[in-house]
Structure 1
Amino acid sequence: MDLRTLFYFVTVAKEESITRAANSLHITQPTLSRQIKDLEEELGVKLFKRSNHHIHITEEGVLLKHRAQELLDMSQKLQDEFKYIDKQIEGNVYVGCGETIGIQIIAEIFKDIQKEYPNVYFHIYSGNAEDIEYRLDKGLLDFGILIQPANLNKYEALNLPSSDRWGLITRKDSEFAHYSQIDREVLTDVPLICSRQAIDKTIPNNEFLSWFGENDEEMNVVATFNLAFNAGMMVKANIGHAISLENLIDTSEENNLCFIPLYPVLEAKHNIVWRKDHTFSKAAQLFLDRATTVCEKN
């Protein structure tokens, strides 16, 4: 099995057609069919189900597609790094980031670097904490921007000079809409929609659970989420009230939702993290140096 064969396989999986994939790859259809058949024989599994003029990927094929794409992404990242290794500071920096205003600070760092080094390019991967940590651990990202609560034990980390405020997202016709703040006692029996990260007891020093105090077992969590947009839709459907960070869910007049801050005030801090054993390209090291300067100033 080589990278070229994996690239052929991923192309077939995306096109869902040997003919279209062969045309895209500029090879003959019999050659591509032979490559896929050899791959199936090597792995001992069927990667596609064939019927008439259509093919459908199997469960085994889906697993291989994910793993193959990771290998292809890593290969491209490695090629990019060596392309610039003997040159001035040039190349690509890969950063994963969740939904947070902390990206404003990262954007300012990007802007300043590109003024001096126009051949440094930045690639942002958006996702939740689980997605970002997974890609960091696989070496597909140089850095991740994590929002507390997060487990930082396996990473090196910098504290960004930014934070998001926690609060309750509720409908404007709810019993809480007129509140100026929400305390923990009020939330004890209320149906809550929480991010899985917020209520994860395996995260050391989970600030949200600490804020809730000894009554965290009495939280009435009726649903969980990993994307704030979906939480907002559940609130609109009157499933419950969402515990969320400010500015992640649309609380404009027409959306019929409002944000009420928690009391005592609870803020989620932001961290730039990277793998302890990660080897940086010159461009990635430059970003880390600039980010360290920004964090130490504040």
Structure 2
Amino acid sequence: MSRQDEVISGEIAIGCGETKNLEPMAKVMAAFQQVYGDVHFTLYTGIADDVKERIEQGTLDFGLLIEPVDVSRYRCLRMPWKDHWSVLLRQDHPLAAKEAIEPQDLAGQRLIMPARLSVLTQVEAWLGRWQDEICTAAFMNLSVYNKEVLTQNGLGLALGLDFNFTLPGLCLRPMKPAIENGSYMVWKNNQFLSPLLERFIEFTEAYLREHYGAQGGE
């Protein structure tokens, strides 16, 4: 059977964290389905460690992983956008008057911190010597909405990625110096790939290059 005669159908399972790069990935998925109408997607949301484990177990075909993350064991495509960190706080909080939040501004504040260890380490490095001056109100995994509800109800200020939308009464302020994270689409190295998965990788790489000028595989 020639490559042109291959039937491209079935399921593609993708695991991802909460990242702005889901938007270009969603455009890829929609464009792929326009060409291959018998393909459907399953999307699983989880932190990078969880997604990587499921890729190793074979329950996910691809992962959309946010830095900091070790992708040395995978084939990967770099996604086009960077996610930027911000402080989520109530509009009536005194720090809302600032254009950007610096580590020393958070001394004495109650913070909602990331639970993923590699990300927490990144945030603690940003806080520097001021990390001993903050109070951790909660550790959180994922869910932008849940984080906003906790902040809205006064649990603390939340450190996390900026998605440019908030619940009423809240605002986002960039962190200074800035923290930004890239993302990768990854899949297992040295594994057999079905015609469906091979075609999706080729399609994704071509689409990102055409529409975003994204780098190729690594």
Q: Give the TM-score taking structure 2 as reference length.
A: 0.81
Could you tell me whether the CA contact under 8 Å between 1:171 and 1:177 is conserved in 2? yes
Quote the offset at 1:178 in angstroms. 1.4
> Could you list the per-position Cα deviations for residues 182-229 of structure 1 after superposition, in whole angstroms to 9, with x for gaps in the alignment?
1122124322111112xx25x7xx654443345545553231001232
Structure ID, larger Rg: 1
Could you tell me whether the CA contact under 8 Å between 1:164 and 1:269 is conserved in 2? yes
Q: Given the alignment of the two structures, is residue 265 of structure 1 paired with residue 165 of structure 2, yes or no? A: no
Counterparts in 2 of 1:217 and 1:172: CA distance versus 1, 3 Å: same
Residue of 235, 242, 252 corresponding to 2:151 = 235
SS in 1 for 2:20: coil
Could you tell me whether the CA contact under 8 Å between 1:162 and 1:269 is conserved in 2? yes
Could you tell me whether the CA contact under 8 Å between 2:102 and 2:177 is conserved in 1? yes
Q: Given the alignment of the two structures, is residue 276 of structure 1 paired with residue 198 of structure 2, yes or no? A: no
Q: Give the TM-score taking structure 1 as reference length.
A: 0.61
Give distance in 1, aligned partners of 2:104 and 2:197: 46
Which residue identity is paired with 1:260? R
Could you tell me whether the CA contact under 8 Å between 2:113 and 2:140 is conserved in 1? yes
Q: Over aligned residues, Cα RMSD in angstroms?
A: 2.6
Identity rate of aligned residues, in percent? Answer: 28
Give distance in 1, aligned partners of 2:124 and 2:207: 30
Superposition map of 1:113-124 within 5 A? 113-124=32-43
- Relative contact order, CA 8 A, sep 6+: which one is greater? 2
Residue of 126, 139, 161 corresponding to 1:224 = 139
Quote the offset at 1:294 in angstroms. 4.3
SS in 2 for 1:242: strand
Tell me whether 227-236 or 160-169 shows the greater mean CA deviation.
227-236
Superposition map of 1:45-56 within 5 A? none
Give distance in 1, aligned partners of 2:56 and 2:30: 27
Quote the offset at 1:91 in angstroms. 2.2
SS in 2 for 1:111: helix
Which residue identity is paired with 1:244? G
Aligned length, in residue pairs: 206
